[in-house]
Structure 1
């Protein structure tokens, strides 16, 4: 059963320090000379710490651009973004790279593991790259939490797809990030394995107050979240708290060109 918590999209309703992620009037235009494509159009949202948010919308609605701008992988054309109290807008690439390594975790559809490294070495990698101290007790706790305590010395090729995605989640957790971003994290998995991974992400929120923001096209995946944000034509057009798969699927039929 889900832990009850408060979410807000308005800055006036958040307590100091309770916001994990903020976008303020973010617009992203690709292209120039009057031929640009507006992928995001004045999107504003606050996402609370310790919450699980799914981002959904039709193809071309701006979901991936939302994630890229929110995570500092791309700079908005206009508007401002924050991770916690740190504003990303105006940071150079060196500063953004450091911030992503230290304060953001990523879980993608492609597991992005290094085949020549063991499970343990893959999970350690963000700390190694950042030149930070490795807390071995924390590493063991993370591996146990994702169900890989007995497979730390295995290579990715010796694991199932679901186990590889668990490695990716452990890697995302190792730096104790402010936010974990998931980009279709179950898109390459079968239904049973996908539910296991979604349950693991859910437990990260419920058990350790981690913040998860997940882009997905799947109403069942979205139903694991506390809140679903709906995008259409680059705009934030709706929000659903305590979603169910049926309610999300119904709302998806009434977005953008399908409205």
Structure 2
């Protein structure tokens, strides 16, 4: 399984999984400051799949890193499952927060090459000081189609299989939010489709919340909604997206940004 399965009739999307309030991230010093995020606010319900898109340099990766606790915003607040992201804590508190509430799937699979599939998947539980339930880890791996690869090393797997291991690793701790940073960017078309189906299934059947940064309109079409980012600001959204609609929106994103600037008198 990909997590505790919802009971029949139990609604998806009850509660708030992620909230950003006026989040800003500024790099550089006086005279050479760059606002990677410029007052981003959003709210994502539990049990939803959201894609984040925008041109290069729009702030997509910075948004994900600040929302996931991989980087600290310059200003504003981030809440995951109703709790502020390591409010008032140091790096140890932030690490603990991430291990308890957040899962990650990256473009480069970030598997430890000397550990087996099973060992890679159970590693987050060990790092968090939690009991390692091997039976449950086997169930998760079986659900992502790797029941017969438990004792293989990453080098013995295809790219698609390695990314499925990474998804199992992200889900085994039952995180509140799973963040994906271009999770299909290094995969062929078939493997990418399988990975996206797994992420969507984790939302539909098990109530996980997935936030995925991508540049691919086809990948974005697997999400419930797409958020568009430009110049560090949210500039639009699209519900129940299709690949064609996303591509069309991206094509005209620069015009939309310019219209908003004119309307704001910038």
The reply on whether 1:200 has 2:210 as its aligned counterpart is: no
- 1:167 matched residue in structure 2: 165
Match of 1:21 among 18, 37, 51: 18
- 1:209 matched residue in structure 2: 207
The reply on whether 1:92 has 2:90 as its aligned counterpart is: yes
Q: Which runs of 5+ in 2 are unaligned?
A: 1-10, 258-266
| CA distance in 1 between partners of 2:228 and 2:41 (Å) | 12
| CA distance in 1 between partners of 2:206 and 2:136 (Å) | 13
- 1:11 matched residue in structure 2: none
| CA distance in 1 between partners of 2:143 and 2:46 (Å) | 20
Matched-pair contact (CA < 8 Å) for 2:23–2:78: yes
Match of 1:183 among 181, 184, 191: 181
Matched-pair contact (CA < 8 Å) for 2:80–2:176: yes
Q: Which consecutive segments of 4 or more residues in structure 1 shift more than 2 A? A: 256-259
Deviation at 1:257, TM superposition (A): 6.6
Q: TM-score, length-normalised on structure 1?
A: 0.92
Q: Which runs of 5+ in 1 are unaligned?
A: 8-14
| CA distance in 1 between partners of 2:252 and 2:12 (Å) | 27
Deviation at 1:76, TM superposition (A): 1.0
For structure 1, which segment, 211-220 or 95-104, has the greater mean C-alpha deviation from structure 2 after superposition?
A: 95-104
| CA distance in 1 between partners of 2:89 and 2:30 (Å) | 25
| CA distance in 1 between partners of 2:21 and 2:197 (Å) | 31
Matched-pair contact (CA < 8 Å) for 1:22–1:45: yes
- 1:55 matched residue in structure 2: 52
The reply on whether 1:30 has 2:27 as its aligned counterpart is: yes
Q: Secondary structure at the match of 1:201?
A: helix
Match of 2:150 among 149, 152, 161: 152
Deviation at 1:97, TM superposition (A): 0.4
User: After superposition, what is the alpha-carbon deviation per residue over 1:116-157, rounded to whole angstroms, capped at 9, x for unaligned?
Assistant: 110000000001111110122321210111111111011111
Deviation at 1:253, TM superposition (A): 1.0
Q: TM-score, length-normalised on structure 2?
A: 0.89
| CA distance in 1 between partners of 2:235 and 2:151 (Å) | 46
| CA distance in 1 between partners of 2:101 and 2:136 (Å) | 16
